[in-house]
Amino acid sequence: MSEKTYLQALNEALRQEMERDENVFILGEDVGQFGGCFGVTQGLFDQFGEDRVMDTPITESTIVGAACGAAACGLRPVPELMFVDFIGVSMDQLFNQAAKMRYMFGGKTTVPMTLRMPQGAGIGAAAQHSQCLESWFMNIPGLKVVIPSTPYDAKGLLISAIRDDNPVVFLEHKLLYGASGEVPDESYTIDIGKADIKREGSDVTIVATSQMVYSALEAAERLKADGIEAEVVDPRCLQPLDKDTILDSVKKTHALVVAHEAVTFAGPGAEISAIVAEEAIEYLDAPIKRVGAPFCPVPFSPPLEQHYIPSADNIVEAVKSIR
């Protein structure tokens, strides 16, 4: 166990899986000698060579399509798109091919591909390079959607994703690459679809994803000063969603706030709120509150961008409105 950044944890997961299984390979723009746009694949080209760390042209449809075909033929590709915002170019390859192939072939083939994509605002990358699009993928049967918040979760879940026989969308918030935490040096897995309680509490449940987990934990510490003990639940995966952990927490605290950076309207919080309303409404003492981004493109202006991104202040305000 040693201190590692989120980026280092991802790099270590890729390295260990490529050493373990020769069928694992990486493809994408600048993933080779350059080491990836954010440095996640640094050093892997030198160790494994161009046959297993493949630079591609700037054509996302080819990256995802080639990965889908390679996976169907028995390999375990890990394609990387430079930004999640570029997925629109290759959506047919993802949601019409990779997601449906196993079902349409009656289970005679599998598509074990892990599509890594950075997402999120906060670096001044403007409207076309800063979105959080996880709710798009949640709505596609056949895809698994993983969205880790900590270095420990990132490594264990990436290894699990690579070993999974289904296509996995693996979303990494750009602001988390520098986050650090204790990570085992050895290989390990985390069950896809199992939430984690990041902080225990008794007065309100805050379900938060990705970067917003840290905002939720900050909010929880501030609320503690006012006598409110918040429980912070990190789903870690949005498809499959561990609704049991969320429901058990709500049954204990009798209040729910859902926080994510994706836009509030039709975001992942809408589905989580609906599940709780359908299956545990009798346990709620107050309305469910959602904290998310406004329904507008991500601004380029730094002050406007910071206003756009949900914050610990927003979470505290939401909790105090019901507690």
What are the residue numbers of the active site? 129
Query: Dihedral of CA 19/21/23/24: which sign?
Result: negative
245 half-sphere exposure, CB direction, 13 A CA radius? 22
- Residue 98 is classified by DSSP as I
Other CB atoms within a 10 A radius of the CB of residue 273 amount to 19
CA distance 9 to 184: 9
Query: What is the SS3 assignment for 5?
Result: strand
Residues 6 or more apart whose CB falls under 8 angstroms from that of 299 comprise 126, 127, 305, 307, 308
- Residue 174 is classified by DSSP as G
Cis peptide before 118 (omega within 30 of 0): no
44 half-sphere exposure, CB direction, 13 A CA radius? 30
Residues 6 or more apart whose CB falls under 8 angstroms from that of 107 comprise none
C-alpha separations of 25 from 44, 76, 95, 119 in Å? 10, 7, 21, 22
Single-letter code of the amino acid located at 101: M
